Amino acid sequence: MPEGHTLLRLARELTQAFGGRPVRVSSPQGRFAADAALVDGALCIGAESAGKHLFIELAGMVSTGSTTGGTAYADLRGATQCDLIGGERRAQIVAQLGEDPLRPDADPERAWRRISRSARPIGDLLMDQTVVAGVGNVYRAEILFRHRIHPLRPGRTLRRTQFLTLWADLVELMEYGVRTGRIDTVRPEHSPEAMGRPARQDDHGGEVYVYRRQGQPCLVCGSRVRTDVLVGRNSFWCARCQPVFRSRAVG
């Protein structure tokens, strides 16, 4: 599934290309032919993203893709759903979302309240779109590595300052992704140029620490990067840089 920065970048591109113009809408594979016929020739007001949702407003109607493209012109892979909806349904979808690091009005304290009360792993909570909207598998793996947090650590064991620092870093990384269209998470001292290593070759982004690098040496400590399934998705971490959390509480 595309991560939040991809949707925001695409929304801006769609608005710039088609905002204020009538558009032709079709369904090349026939799956959405009926809905396409309803809005074919409509005026495109603009596009907006919210977490992993892309909304395209067409002359009073709202066409939405939940991690989807929704138009023949959108180069967005990993689509899972495409619906023609109205404003009321759009509002319902947005109301169900957690805080989006890419929105200027996001409230990290609201996300923190959910996380601080939960015994679920932080690696699970970060991917829960009702807690933090827009974060996918790449950003989850990378932000936890950058802050030396094991993905299985219970959310309620994090400190507030620890989470807020993580959030600020996540905002910066995702905003960089919007500007460049890439996910680059390594610090300057760990770049290919600084380390004298080959650049990463992968369709899913730029330079990363642990995502899809299982079995390879950690760029920081040299230990082998590990992977395991967490709530149906592969999780990646370095056991030395991200040690298992041990509670200091005395029973």
Same domain, residue pair 87 and 113: no
Annotated catalytic, 24?
A: no
Annotated catalytic, 207?
A: no
pLDDT of residue 146: 98
Is 27 a domain residue?
A: yes
Same domain, residue pair 50 and 120: no
Q: Name the active-site residue from 12, 120, 212, 233.
A: 233
Q: Name the active-site residue from 2, 101, 121, 151.
A: 2
Same domain, residue pair 113 and 194: yes
* Residue that is written with structure tokens 């996001």 in the block: 106
Annotated catalytic, 52?
A: yes
Is 19 a domain residue?
A: yes
Same domain, residue pair 146 and 89: no
Which amino acid type is present at position 107? Answer: D
> Which residue, of 74, 95, 116, is where some domain finishes?
95
CA distance 128 to 29: 31
Annotated catalytic, 3?
A: yes
Is 34 a domain residue?
A: yes
Same domain, residue pair 137 and 24: no
Q: 167 is in which domain, residue-wise?
A: 108-238
Write out the two tokens for 165: 């620092």
Is 137 a domain residue?
A: yes
Number of domains in the chain: 2
Same domain, residue pair 137 and 172: yes
Is 101 a domain residue?
A: no
Same domain, residue pair 63 and 185: no
Same domain, residue pair 119 and 234: yes
CA distance 209 to 218: 7
Q: Name the active-site residue from 9, 52, 146, 213.
A: 52
Per-residue tens of pLDDT for the chain, all 251 residues: 678 999 999 999 999 988 988 888 888 788 888 888 888 888 999 999 999 999 999 875 555 554 446 444 555 555 567 888 888 999 999 999 999 999 999 999 999 999 999 999 999 999 999 999 999 999 999 999 999 999 999 999 999 999 999 999 999 999 999 999 899 999 999 999 999 999 998 776 689 999 999 999 999 999 999 999 998 899 999 999 999 998 765 44
Q: DSSP letter string over the chain?
A: ---HHHHHHHHHHHHHHHTTEE-----TTSTTHHHHHHHTT-EEEEEEEETTEEEEEETTEEEEEESS--STT----S---EEEE-HHHHHHHHHT--B-TTSTT--HHHHHHHHHT--SBHHHHTT-TTTBSS--HHHHHHHHHHTT--TTSBGGGS-HHHHHHHHHHHHHHHHHHHHHSS-----GGGSHHHHT-PPP--TT-S--SSTT-TTSBPTTT-PBEEEEEETTEEEEEETTTSPPP------
Is 244 a domain residue?
A: no
> Which residue, of 95, 119, 150, is where some domain finishes?
95
